[in-house]
Amino acid sequence: MFYRPEDGHGLPHNPFNAIITPRPIGWISTRGADGTNNLAPYSFFNGVAYTPPQVMFASTGTKADQDGGKDSIANIEATGVFCVNVVAHAHRDAMNASSAALPKHVDEFKHAGLTAIECETIPCARVEGAPAALECKLTQIVTLPGQANRVVFGEVTGVHLHDDHMRDGKFDVTSFKPLARLGYRDYSVASELFSLSRPDD
């Protein structure tokens, strides 16, 4: 099958998200100018550079109580910081609960039954018990074509690694099974690994 996006796909569900899989989930925590904590998952997320370490996530769509965007974007624009929390399989229900389109004054940490603890390098909360968290300062926000499509870039200013997931000096992802987004309503976990050496190693 082949289709042009402008012509439509003719399928019951959009296959785009199912094509670009698996996608890591950036569980983005921010704080509003009024001090309210916010937490939301974004699967258009990844690392983009090593030195200095930098990440990105993309936000699409709008909320009725925000002017042309989402709470995460509004908070980052106001404060210039955010934190990326890694989602373990054990946090799948809390992550899903935090994705609800709640009023901007609602604290998603409390809504999802999570404990918020303070970051070290930025004025922002992070998820207690998350396998890892990346504290970030905003570097730029890029507006893309379409309605409220925006990409946030940040430089990592602090890294948290949970001691329970360190093995022989490495961060062992199989010990917490990171959640990944697939298409439709589907997710997967990373639980088995294999290694490949590059030809020039």
Integer Cα distance of 197 and 186 in angstroms: 31
What is the predicted pLDDT for the residue at 201?
Answer: 85
What is the predicted pLDDT for the residue at 57?
Answer: 99
User: How many C-beta atoms lie closer than 10 Å to residue 2's C-beta?
Assistant: 4
What is the predicted pLDDT for the residue at 63?
Answer: 76
What is the predicted pLDDT for the residue at 68?
Answer: 66
> What are the domain boundaries of the chain?
24-185
* pTM assigned to the model: 0.95
CATH fold of 24-185: Pnp Oxidase; Chain A (2.30.110)
Which residue ranges in the chain fall short of pLDDT 70?
Answer: 66, 68
